[in-house]
Amino acid sequence: MAKINRRAFVLANAIGLTAPPRRSFGRAPAVLRQSVKPIVISSANGHRFRNGGTQTCVELAFRRIVDGDDLLDALIAGVNIVELDPEDASVGYGGRPNADGVVQLDACCMEGSTHRAGGVAALEGVRTPSKVAQAVMLHTDHHLLVGSGAQNFARQLGFNIEADLNTDRSRRLWLEWKRRTDPNHYLDPNRTVAQSQVDSELLAETLSDTDEAYGTINCNGIDLQGQLAGVTTTSGLAWKIPSRVGDSPILGAGLYVDSQAGAVGSTGRGEANLYNLTSFLIVEYLRQGMSPQDAGLAGLRRIQENTREPRLQNSRGLPNFGVTFYVLNAAGECAGVSMYGGSNRTYALCTENGPELLPLEPLLDGTPND
């Protein structure tokens, strides 16, 4: 069969003709699913930040998929917008510093057809940890590199290493956190009385979205060939203990993808997700035939049932934290689900009809603090 260009390939799929699947070095060919249309789903910050450009994460990723670009490349290009935007306090440049004031980043990516994946954790000095995670997948026999070793790997592959990924905003908020948690040593020159405030008060005052306290973007997609992929990238829990690693770079927790079943990623309390490997669990529910919404809610229910420590429960005996999952199945159906709802609790979606923010489906009524 004669070769066709990308635009002709898209047109051929639209009218039901067949074309040979794209092949990449080291990647298994995907099975063509003619009825599946491209979709990109992400956390809400995937359709909130543009880094000074004209497109958000989901818009750019979707356009590149339709143009015939590699699926994972397209998704990573999308999250790069958020990683690089200093106005987003959840990932990459200007992300939440740890307790020592250092921005340490985690990321993971995965292909659904080959099950190849790469991850980095506690990486310092690189604004786009998702790209380093992809490099681990492409250039090593490993899945996860951490700390200084991950940074050395990035340097060896030509990534720019910066001394400090803080912005004025992230550094200012870290200093305010220090003043409130250690008022005897970090004095506020604008106050005559030292204050001792809990983290939640500062977060409520300074963050537009409580998800920024956990600091993550997940983005999953399906392409014209029916192949699935996903990427999750994060600065982790605000003011965490240095070298803390959450769920985002861990396969089965912050991300899991199988082109025969689905793609699932998470934001929220990473430890709760890690204890249950919930993204993998939800993919298995999809494999059993459950809808994306039902599978996602079932995963949240597992977290709820396994949250038994009193310190993690509210006055109703329910989880006092939030977790959200972004679920996409092999048929191109999707859902966003969360432990609790709220008027501003949304997820991002981009299809042939354009990008939009949609309400998350909650498992529980009320709020984590009820």
Domain assignment present for 195: no
pLDDT tens digit sequence for 113-123: 999 999 999 99
Domain assignment present for 55: yes
First to last CA, the chain: 63
Domain assignment present for 29: yes
Annotation says 324 is catalytic: no
For the cut 60, the answer to whether the pLDDT of residue 109 exceeds it is: yes
Is the distance from CB of 131 to CB of 80 less than 8 angstroms?
yes
For the cut 50, the answer to whether the pLDDT of residue 128 exceeds it is: yes
* Domain encompassing residue 61: 6-164+208-364
Calculate what percentage of the chain has a pLDDT beyond 90.
78
Under the banding of pLDDT at 50, 70 and 90, the label for residue 90 is confident
Domain assignment present for 198: no
pLDDT tens digit sequence for 218-231: 999 999 999 999 99
Tokens of 74: 């397209």
Cα angle 105, 328, 79 (rounded to 5 degrees) comes to 30
pLDDT tens digit sequence for 152-199: 999 999 999 999 999 999 999 999 999 888 887 777 666 533 333 445
The two beta strands, 334-340 and 255-258, are unpaired
How far, in Å, CA of 84 to CA of 318, rounded?
Answer: 36
Cα angle 233, 320, 254 (rounded to 5 degrees) comes to 20
For the cut 90, the answer to whether the pLDDT of residue 351 exceeds it is: yes
Q: According to the model, what pLDDT value does residue 38 have? A: 97
Domain assignment present for 213: yes
Domain assignment present for 189: no
Domain assignment present for 183: no
Quote the strand ranges of the chain, DSSP E.
39-43, 105-111, 117-123, 144-146, 216-222, 228-234, 255-258, 262-268, 323-329, 334-340, 346-351, 354-359, 361-364
Among candidates 322, 328, 296, 271, which has minimal Cα distance to 110? 328
Under the banding of pLDDT at 50, 70 and 90, the label for residue 136 is very high
Cα angle 327, 296, 306 (rounded to 5 degrees) comes to 135
- For the chain, what is the domain count? 1
Domain assignment present for 128: yes
Give the global pTM: 0.85
Q: Which carries the bigger pLDDT value, residue 282 or residue 16?
A: 282
Question: Rounded to whole angstroms, what are the CA distances from 199 to 63, 180, 309?
Answer: 39, 8, 20
For the cut 90, the answer to whether the pLDDT of residue 57 exceeds it is: yes
Question: Rounded to whole angstroms, what are the CA distances from 6 to 19, 65, 368?
Answer: 11, 10, 48
Residue 243: CATH number of its domain: 3.60.20.30
pLDDT averaged over every residue in the chain = 87
Phi, psi (degrees; rounded to nearest 5) at 154: -60, -45
| Residue 152 CB partners (closer than 8 Å, separation 6+) | none
Catalytic residue among 56, 216, 267, 346: 216
Maximum separation of any 2 CA atoms in the chain, in Å: 79
- Quote the crossing angle between the two packed helices 57-66 and 71-84, to the nearest 10°: 160
pLDDT tens digit sequence for 244-286: 999 999 999 999 999 999 999 999 999 999 999 999 999 999 9
